[in-house]
A and B are shown apart, each in its own frame.
Chain A
Amino acid sequence: MLYEPGKEYLMEARLLPLARAAGYADVDSYLPRIFSDHLERQRALDALTINETSWFRDNTPYQAFTDVILPELLKARAATRQISIWSAACSSGQEAYSLAMLLDQHLPGGWTARITATDVSTEMVARVTAGRYSQVEMNRGLPATQLIKHFTRVGAQWEISPRLRDMVQARTMNLAAPFPPLPRFDLVLLRNVLIYFDLDTKRDILRRVHAVTAPDGYLMLGTAETGLEAEQHWGRESVGRMQLLRPAPSATRIPPAVPATTLTGA
């Protein structure tokens, strides 16, 4: 989401429609509202990152999922034949549905997969539930064969098939706040979102994610995310070009915490 110097006009262009929708004549008069109003701030963030979401983003994590994680889970979960995945900070849902496409392709008969997709933005959650994407969004990293297999046209948009939409359950959730009741997850994707939090909150999130991850489960962060040297709840495992995090064994599984006195907004 980095805007190079000289491209401030891009930010201006993206914020102007929001400013107008909120009743302001220009971006300058709208800016204070972004800082004071959580919903407007989220809308602004969404608008500024509008070009960032691709299907199968960075590819490597999805390759790791197909080549390593899923085969391992198929062995480890043979008794229940259920796989549970969490796409945290799911945005408009390309990550969740990309996984759904891979599961549709590779999951054997008799198995079920559930993908929980969460985001702090109710608008994003509504988008995931609707499963509709614009043509420009459909161009981003989605193999054409997957497009025709899983999507149909609805007006100027493309809608994901009911079969895949049924795999994904989207709900609003603030990572910085205590988690609501969640299933135990075999795989958690927490990609490119921890960067928005301070160190203490980051650690707290990782601790609470650990509590809802199966002991033999996996955590994926963004491809460029590092800096967890002091992190006690997770150990690293290299898979090809990818670093996966596995829950560090702990004698006691720490239950979700009581809310802290201050919560940083997402």
Chain B
Amino acid sequence: MSTLESSEQLLPSTDDLMALLEQMWDSFVSPMPLLPAAPAPAHDWSTSVSVDGAWSGRITLYLSDAGAQLIAGRMLASVIAADPAAPAALAEEDLRDAIGELANILGGNLKSLMPEPSVLSLPVVEHSPAAPADDAAPRCRLDLAWQGEPVTVHVQLIASN
């Protein structure tokens, strides 16, 4: 296991990260925008993928309960005629698959930006996750809100195996 030397590894720019996130949102969630927001005090859901290889990192999205319901509802009911009205509560299985796919898409896009070859993990979705680490480790971070619900994205480097 190599020691992490941050000078050897890149982080995506926040501009690139935001562009990828917005395109994903626009295509699969909603045209209503993601807006800059104050850091959310708590997170109800986390969904993450890791990338391992020439570039190694973890990409995590944090969502509120209400946000996760709305977002997953849009993705599943979605595509051609997105209905602005809030959908009924989703089965947890469906919600997990939907927000897992968000991490998969964002992580997969980032993987393609970073040095390759590398392997993309399956998404890991957690309810009531640990708070995102607030340490000095290098990371790329976006604190956003969508329809008044927090959307937080962390990209952090991890030591490659």
A: residues with CB less than 8 A from B are 9-10, 13-14, 16-17, 20, 134-136, 153, 155-157
B117 contacts partner chain A, Cβ-Cβ < 8 Å? no
> In the complex, what residues of A have CB within 8 A of residue B33's CB?
13, 16-17
Q: Is the CB of A155 within 8 A of B113?
A: yes
Q: Is the CB of A9 within 8 A of B84?
A: yes
> In the complex, what residues of B have CB within 8 A of residue A17's CB?
33
B119 contacts partner chain A, Cβ-Cβ < 8 Å? no
Which label, helix, strand, loop or mixed, suits the secondary structure of the A interface? helix
Contacts A16-B33, A155-B13 given; indicate if A134 touches B23 (C-beta within 8 A). yes
Contacts A9-B84, A155-B16, A156-B16 given; indicate if A135 touches B23 (C-beta within 8 A). yes
How many A-B pairs with Cβ below 8 Å? 34
Q: Is the CB of A156 within 8 A of B19?
A: yes
Q: Is the CB of B19 within 8 A of A134?
A: yes
Q: Which of B95-125 contact A (CB under 8 A)?
A: 109, 112-113
Q: Is the CB of B109 within 8 A of A9?
A: no
A16, B30: Cα distance in complex, Å: 14
- In the complex, the chain B residue whose C-beta lies closest to that of A50 is B26
Nearest Cβ distance between residue A144 and chain B, in whole angstroms? 15
Nearest Cβ distance between residue A51 and chain B, in whole angstroms? 9
Nearest Cβ distance between residue A92 and chain B, in whole angstroms? 15
- In the complex, the chain B residue whose C-beta lies closest to that of A139 is B27
> In the complex, what residues of B have CB within 8 A of residue A135's CB?
20, 23, 109
Q: Is the CB of A9 within 8 A of B16?
A: no
Q: Is the CB of A10 within 8 A of B19?
A: no
Task: Give me 19 A-to-B residue pairs in the complex whose CB atoms sit less than 8 angstroms apart, sorted by A's number.
Answer: A9-B31, A9-B84, A10-B31, A13-B32, A13-B33, A14-B31, A20-B35, A134-B19, A134-B23, A135-B20, A136-B23, A153-B112, A153-B113, A155-B113, A156-B15, A156-B16, A156-B19, A156-B20, A157-B19
> In the complex, what residues of A have CB within 8 A of residue B30's CB?
13
- In the complex, the chain A residue whose C-beta lies closest to that of B30 is A13
